[in-house]
Amino acid sequence: DAGVIQSPRHEVTEMGQEVTLRCKPISGHNSLFWYRQTMMRGLELLIYFNNNVPIDDSGMPEDRFSAKMPNASFSTLKIQPSEPRDSAVYFCASSGPPSGRAYEQYFGPGTRLTVT
């Protein structure tokens, strides 16, 4: 398997623009997670899905952030409008069979977002 795939790897945009980050989880995994990492705040869980259903979105910073998982092989994280403080590395992770352990998550390479 190719692992968790994220796109784009780098994104530079201007304040106010819409940003869409994409994630393809490992085939067969039934849980998907979105994280944000910054030097100041470390690694924060934004939202996670189980069987395509959002289970916990308490980490989503505000209404400008939204996440969807239309099917088991694709998820998006959208920021609209973007602000400079959204600059961070965004990771997508998935978990599921064969280990079946939710705490054994496989992370993608991340998307480095810069908002100017």
Partner 1 sequence: LAKTTQPISMDSYEGQEVNITCSHNNIATNDYITWYQQFPSQGPRFIIQGYKTKVTNEVASLFIPADRKSSTLSLPRVSLSDTAVYYCLVGQGGKLIFGQGTELSVKP
Nearest to 46 by CA among 12, 5, 77: 77
- Rounded to a whole number of angstroms, the minimum distance from the CB of residue 116 to partner 1 is 21
CA 85 to chain CA centroid, nearest Å: 17
* Rg of the chain, C-alpha, whole Å: 13
Name the residue nearer to partner 1 (CB basis): 6 or 82.
6
Rounded to whole angstroms, the Cα distance separating 66 from 20 reads 10
Bridge partners of residue 16, in order along the sequence: none
Residues 22-41 that bind partner 1 (CB under 8 A): 31, 33, 35
Q: Which of 56, 61, 85, 114 binds partner 1 (CB under 8 A)?
A: 56
Does residue number 51 form part of the binding site for partner 1 (CB under 8 A)? no
What's the DSSP call for residue 47? Answer: E
Give the amino acid at 104.
Answer: E
Task: Tell me which residues in 84-113 interact with partner 1 (CB under 8 A).
Answer: 91, 93, 95, 101-110
Interaction site with partner 1 (CB under 8 A): 4, 31, 33, 35, 42-45, 48, 50, 55-56, 91, 93, 95, 101-110
